[in-house]
Amino acid sequence: MASLREYLDPACVAVDVRAADKEEAIRALVHIADSAAGVKDPELLVRDILERERLAPTGLGESCAVPHAHSDGIADTRLVFARLAAPVDFGAPDDKDAHLVVLMAGPRDSAGLHLKLLSKLARMLHDADFRAAALAAPDAGILAQLIFDRDS
pLDDT in tens, 80-133: 999 999 999 999 999 999 999 999 999 988 888 999 999 999 999 999 999 999
> What predicted TM-score, i.e. pTM, was given to this entire model?
0.95
Out of 68, 70, 99, 114, the active site residue is 68
Could you give the CA distance from residue 87 to residue 18 in angstroms, rounded to a whole number? 9
- The total domain count for the chain is 1
Q: Classify residue 132 as exposed, middle or buried by CB count within 10 Å of its CB (0-12, 13-18, 19+).
A: exposed
Kindly state whether residue 152 falls inside one of the protein's structural domains.
no
Kindly state whether residue 100 falls inside one of the protein's structural domains.
yes
Cα atoms in the Cβ-side hemisphere of radius 13 Å centred on 11 = 10
3 and 119 Cβ atoms separated by less than 8 Å:
no
Q: For 10, which DSSP code?
A: G
* Residue 68 falls in the annotated catalytic set: yes
Domain extent, residue 67, equals 4-147
Kindly state whether residue 19 falls inside one of the protein's structural domains.
yes
Mean pLDDT, the chain, whole residue set:
95
Kindly state whether residue 40 falls inside one of the protein's structural domains.
yes
3-class DSSP state of 80: strand
